[in-house]
Chains A and B, each alone.
Chain A
């Protein structure tokens, strides 16, 4: 018999090793699943993980990794602050939408005036929109003790209705023949969040994501507020004794995650997406939750995890097209990643012991 025994201290080695173990297990079991579907497992895995990075057309896919990964990292960094402190913002998707709407709204209001001031104004508006949307669950929590998980999640659906309304009404392209969707900001120079070096995929959102990683790292390791976040998550009672103000912490964590999600939405709508459309949001806010945990709520880990998720998306689409793998199989593959991560996570806090048979 093997039994689980709680470790006196969480194992640091396993904490670092579990993401790698999870990726390996996903490759093995994912490969098995692809084999059952009648595809060559090795080719499938190579297509997903190798092709985008080093394949024939890597020059195109590498920049795409930045485009796909940046919003994930930006949102996940914000979420990780709250998650560390036990404050659960599940509604980043809604904050992402509101950031995009506020930012694009400012841009569209200035159209067609060309000025260097337009884009910075949009960035501020985008950050404000996301922050504002996150302040609703934050204030309700500190004033009335509501559950921020439920409120932030429900507000995603409210934000989606706003998005539909804006695409069909206020922000609809007047030259769009009555079809839904705003003007394309890619054709409005002052508002376009273009690649800083053409074809590199490096747009302002990527820069912002990198800055956010550095800020979060410094905050968590060097700053008093970072200490408060960590202590609150690990020992709430001790945190209160050490003078942490829980109200301010809730406002800060939800506000910061909303702000970053809003920025991610703004950079997306002004850049790669270009338009406010009914289906603008594609689930970055939810996927970022996975990214945050896959990265162990650590800024550097999140950076790597965001890259990995982006890789599975891009590689997954290539595998669909080249090998005829169904989309559902790719989604199962991505799901396996989180599943194995959580499963191996057990080994951080517990160890396996050959058990003695109990004598009755």
Chain B
């Protein structure tokens, strides 16, 4: 058994060496969970990849595999990229966490970057964006513009990232409109146009005139357009084709600066394992153009809110905030710490319903 292991290790190392000799370009691999044409999550990661090629030209070579299932398939794809001589591999879905760690162990000289996870190693960094900052602005616009006072929310999975977004949007909608009510539908998917469209229709039938989504397709936008007086926000990418209405603004994931910086670090030999969680300020979270469908006054407030978040003057989770059960969470003036935010598994006071288990 030992011998086989030795052989395997030797073979892996040899493969790595020949891969590295064959090219002096920096090779960057991307593992995508959806198709690059999904118009949302994977689309934006791929835009980051293209920006990388643009920035470094011939000095870098990028490769990608799309529609990679989480689990053993992703592990195989990562291994294959490493064998083919990749220097840096971005794995862009939460479910790639354990596979990334497994493969990173086998290839200590290859750098890995895992999006949205929490497990790191000497050659594994993690990165994510503070989308909840964008949700605060959405909540503000939604609360100001709703006439039915019912805001629909399409959740993907009840995980901390999504719950954080719901809380942030709710807090800021409530601030401008105390009568506001959130209706939340769980789609249990990140990308399924048919399910997302159904969810949007159900919410609209229940009286929602604003639909927020934490899923990646444009199907909810199409459903809102069909229904008429309903507004939406682009998710992950701008979804500008539905502007000026129903899409009145958007949260855009902008991975390009991060991908460029990390690739540069590999080229310079300065790459280190880090945990990055950036928001509007550093430009990882972009707010898409607020259209004229939004009253000028609301737009002005929203932009002011954006500026104060970007500059760090204002934190979207600033007390007093109670948890759903009425117990105190943040005292007046206190702001949430990153640890609590990262593992957020409770609704704030005022949101109805339970987080599904």
Residues of A that sit less than 8 Å from B by CB: 56-57, 59-61, 64, 67-68, 161, 164-165, 168-170, 177-181, 184, 186, 197-200, 268, 272-275, 277-280, 282, 313-314, 317-318, 320-322, 324, 326-328
Cβ contact within 8 Å between B8 and A59: yes
Complexed CA–CA distance, A322 and B19 (Å) = 13
The reply to whether the CB of B23 lies closer than 8 angstroms to some CB of chain A is no
Cβ contact within 8 Å between A321 and B71: no
Cβ contact within 8 Å between B68 and A57: no
Partner of A279, one of B8, B69, B357: B69
Task: Supply 13 further A-B pairs (C-beta < 8 A) apart from A60-B80, A278-B188, A320-B65.
Answer: A57-B80, A60-B83, A67-B72, A168-B159, A169-B356, A179-B160, A180-B157, A184-B98, A197-B1, A272-B72, A318-B80, A321-B63, A321-B64
Cβ contact within 8 Å between A277 and B65: no
Cβ contact within 8 Å between B63 and A322: yes
Q: Nearest B residue to A63 by beta-carbon distance?
A: B8
Please, could you name 18 A-B residue pairs with CB atoms under 8 Å apart, sorted by A? A60-B15, A68-B76, A168-B159, A168-B357, A177-B343, A178-B159, A178-B160, A179-B94, A180-B158, A197-B1, A200-B4, A277-B70, A277-B71, A282-B73, A313-B73, A317-B73, A317-B80, A326-B36
Over the window 74-102 of chain B, the binary record of Cβ atoms lying under 8 Å from chain A Cβ atoms (1 yes, 0 no) is 01110111011000000000110010001
Q: Nearest B residue to A180 by beta-carbon distance?
A: B159
Contacts of A59 in B (CB 8 A): 8, 11
Complexed CA–CA distance, A277 and B71 (Å) = 9
Complexed CA–CA distance, A314 and B75 (Å) = 12
Complexed CA–CA distance, A29 and B150 (Å) = 54
Q: Nearest A residue to B342 by beta-carbon distance?
A: A177
Distance from A204 Cβ to chain B, minimum over Cβ atoms (Å): 15
For the complex, count residues of B whose C-beta is within 8 A of A.
47
Residues of B that sit less than 8 Å from A by CB: 1, 4-5, 7-8, 11-12, 15, 18, 29, 35-36, 63-73, 75-77, 79-81, 83-84, 94-95, 98, 102, 118, 157-160, 188, 342-345, 356-357
Contacts of B8 in A (CB 8 A): 59, 198-199
Distance from A315 Cβ to chain B, minimum over Cβ atoms (Å): 11
Cβ contact within 8 Å between A273 and B71: yes
Cβ contact within 8 Å between B4 and A165: no
Cβ contact within 8 Å between B345 and A198: no
Contacts of A268 in B (CB 8 A): 72
Contacts of A317 in B (CB 8 A): 65, 68, 73, 76-77, 80
Complexed CA–CA distance, A164 and B84 (Å) = 35
Q: A178-B343, A324-B63 are in contact. Are A278 and B157 (CB under 8 A)?
A: yes
Contacts of A282 in B (CB 8 A): 69, 71, 73
Q: A321-B29, A327-B66 are in contact. Are A169 and B357 (CB under 8 A)?
A: yes
Cβ contact within 8 Å between A314 and B157: no
Q: Would you list the 9 A-B pairs with minimal beta carbon distance, nearest first?
A: A169-B357, A272-B72, A282-B69, A199-B8, A327-B67, A178-B345, A178-B343, A177-B343, A273-B71
